[in-house]
Structure 1
Amino acid sequence: MIVKGKKLLPMAFALAAALFVAACGNTGGGGSSSTSVGGSTAPAPPTVPFAEAKFAFAPVTGAPATVLTRLSAELGKEAYIQHVSLVPSGDTAATYVVKGYLSALGDTSGTILVYVWDIFDTSGRRVHRISGQETSAGGSQSDPWSGVDSSTTANVARRTISSIVAWGNAR
């Protein structure tokens, strides 16, 4: 990753550390995790064949409505393209619920959008975690969300759905 300013990189590491510490705590999903320190634990394979699985995205936390609206549309497009079956949030037909958390850090050199998606089974047990970050040139320290453009949300959606597909086909 190439960053023009020297302030953005330390802030990104601080945010990543904070997210890691938060991820180690109780997520309310029963305490099971597919990740470990060092990344040596493989994700738990899905319990339902991917072709039969239905995913419901719960409301995403941490971002303003404008970003969430764009991201939701992009997730829907990517799910269609990559043959991921989506159902509305709260639908009892959902095999998995995906809960998302977003955070943005910015300075004069750009914005880093950090995302974490936890996938829960019908019993509420977390069975998989997806995380990553996207950078964009816009934004500022006072409003990093202004730097999260349609290209950034499209990249997050593509990577998120691709990760769901890869995990779903890991049976």
Structure 2
Amino acid sequence: MSVRNYSPVLGSIVALALASCQETTTAARPRVDAPGVPVSVQSISGAPDQVTTAFAGLLGEAAAERKMEIVPGDKPARFRVRGYLTAQPTADGQTALAFVWDVYDESKKRAQRVQGESLGRRGGGADPWAGIDQTIVAKAASDSMDAIAGFLTTAPAAEAKPDTKSKTRTAQAAPEKRR
């Protein structure tokens, strides 16, 4: 499947999801919070459009629950993430929704890869996406944000960059020559 870039649409969906979210907690699973680290979701590829749209919205909700700062693609971010989704049948006849996130630092080097999968209902014939429902998409989005937040809480702090514009130089007097 071709790689699709959803940055403009994704930014809007995530922003709307964040704006409409109320903080909730779930006792069933431990949640990892990662406040104060700006992250930009650059793309989600591999899934049909309707799955990608649903996943992006749920990803925004999961980020808000974890107090993560999701910023649009054109804004400064400490990390940028690119996601990949695949659906495949399992040996026992279910369908697995697998996710992989590459997390890039400010210098565009991959800092971390996180991955996982959620099991769906029995497959819908030849199309594995037919076995993926909203519950599985929500679980994958939540697990994705837990994995990304887990990395963010252990990532080294950004190094301070020297401000070359405001550097001051100290003039030194040349040593006097003896005559």
Shared fold (TM-score, shorter chain, > 0.5) = yes
Larger deviation: 125-134 or 50-59? 50-59
- Of 84, 105, 121, the match for 1:101: 84
Distance 1:143 1:169 in 2: 38
Structure 1: any 5+ residue segments left out of the alignment? 1-49
Q: Residues 101 and 115 of structure 2 are in contact (CA less than 8 Å); yes or no, is this contact kept in structure 1?
A: yes
The runs of at least 4 consecutive aligned structure 1 residues that moved more than 3 Å come to none
RMSD in angstroms over aligned alpha carbons?
1.8
Q: Which amino acid aligns with 2:130?
A: S
Q: Is it true that 1:165 corresponds to 2:149 in the alignment?
A: yes
Q: Is it true that 1:66 corresponds to 2:26 in the alignment?
A: no
Structure 2: any 5+ residue segments left out of the alignment? 1-33, 156-179
Q: Residues 62 and 101 of structure 1 are in contact (CA less than 8 Å); yes or no, is this contact kept in structure 2?
A: yes
Q: Residues 138 and 146 of structure 1 are in contact (CA less than 8 Å); yes or no, is this contact kept in structure 2?
A: no
Report what 1:21 is aligned to: none
Q: TM-score, normalised by structure 1?
A: 0.65
Q: How many residues align?
A: 121
Instruction: Tell me the secondary structure at the aligned position of residue 85 of structure 2.
Output: strand
Q: Residues 97 and 132 of structure 2 are in contact (CA less than 8 Å); yes or no, is this contact kept in structure 1?
A: yes
- Of 153, 167, 170, the match for 2:137: 153
Q: Residues 100 and 116 of structure 1 are in contact (CA less than 8 Å); yes or no, is this contact kept in structure 2?
A: yes
Report what 1:57 is aligned to: 41
Distance 1:131 1:64 in 2: 19
Distance 1:151 1:51 in 2: 26
Higher relative contact order (CA 8 A, sep 6+): 1
Report what 2:74 is aligned to: 91
Instruction: Tell me the secondary structure at the aligned position of residue 152 of structure 1.
Output: helix
* Bigger CA radius of gyration: 2
